[in-house]
Structure 1
């Protein structure tokens, strides 16, 4: 049995997930956590194989919980189950080690299928989310093929790219590098121009696709 917990501040969602999983012979829902702290406390003393994790929660958001789980319990599989389809958030979660990313409208069979596939070692994203990423990957691949790297990036620009790929905002990057927000924006603009990319998401995809860091 795949011991699973669901983490969501919405009681209705927790109950729906319970209903979906209760008749499945391969999956056992062992805990319903109302927030990230509840989930982390449970994981301290109980064996869990997989976590279904929402993002938009009070006290501590799902991205922070994901990071803590992967740092403390790297063997535990984590599937983000959320209504958020923002490309940067998707990439940030995958970069932090999420094993799957599902929209809450994926349906009953979609959730069960994702749990089974992720437990077997696959990476699973709901198609609508995958399309968002693939769009950027196709564009970035084209830029790579056209050798848009010919203009060298500076050391600082490479640092900014690395931090963008980790999901950090301009403000967070500025604080980390001890430079101004405006300077970060200038670096981002320069990176976009040199690599012929359109936005921060494509910078993250480019960085990850090329194993730059």
Structure 2
């Protein structure tokens, strides 16, 4: 397993390198200060990317996400000490495998990394809930009447065809509305809509 650590902190790079060398079967651990210090082709050769991120380095997430699209096996872990809602939301949208806000407990960290390597995702509970609630509360009111209707039909588990029949619109229009809903609520898929409607206990 090849590990890449991205951080401008010497202490972070040394600590994470030590943790991986001592607890995981790593063939290579490399540390760099910025994503700009490595090319996309080289980035794609790593199995795990651990990156310290803040509001000033958000663009780095875009570059790593691009690499993740090419190498689907790449695991990306983001460390955000600031617990920034913008960073958290961006990380989720980019499909990172882990979002953590501290390194206080070595055993917990090792457990989290093992889960991520095995295929699970881990997001810091309090930070992600705060970010998602803030985002949902801010954007839900901006849905149009028709988008709300489509959202409720999606929450029932209906297909685009069934929604089109129910609302007497075309499937193309349904797709456009769903795309708009996902964008406004910063969601990734229909399952997110279903969870959101149930969590907010929204009714027609």
Of the three residues 27, 30, 48, the one matched with 2:46 is: 48
Q: Does 1:10 align with 2:9?
A: yes
CA separation in 2, counterparts of 1:84 and 1:157? 35
1:44 Cα deviation after fit: 1.7
1:119 Cα deviation after fit: 1.0
CA separation in 2, counterparts of 1:99 and 1:46? 16
Distance 1:68 1:134, change over 3 A: closer
Q: Does 1:153 align with 2:135?
A: no
CA separation in 1, counterparts of 2:27 and 2:134? 37
| Structure 2 contact 54–84 (Cα < 8 Å) conserved | no
- Unaligned runs of at least 5 residues, structure 1: 144-148, 165-202
Aligned to 1:19: 18
CA separation in 1, counterparts of 2:97 and 2:44? 20
1:157 Cα deviation after fit: 7.9
| Structure 1 contact 80–100 (Cα < 8 Å) conserved | yes
CA separation in 1, counterparts of 2:43 and 2:188? 40
Of the three residues 106, 109, 124, the one matched with 1:108 is: 106
CA separation in 1, counterparts of 2:62 and 2:10? 21
What is the root-mean-square deviation in Å for CA atoms of aligned residues?
A: 3.8
Aligned to 1:184: none
| Structure 1 contact 8–57 (Cα < 8 Å) conserved | no
| Structure 1 contact 78–100 (Cα < 8 Å) conserved | yes
- Unaligned runs of at least 5 residues, structure 2: 149-172, 195-204
1:105 Cα deviation after fit: 3.6
Aligned to 1:210: 193
1:131 Cα deviation after fit: 4.1
Distance 1:61 1:14, change over 3 A: farther
Q: Secondary structure at the match of 1:30?
A: strand
Distance 1:105 1:81, change over 3 A: same
TM superposition score normalised by structure 1: 0.59
Deviations 1:56-95 (A, max 9, x none): 3878743223222223322211111221423343232122
1:130 Cα deviation after fit: 4.1
TM superposition score normalised by structure 2: 0.61
Q: Which moved more, 1:110-119 or 1:19-28?
A: 19-28
1:133 Cα deviation after fit: 5.2
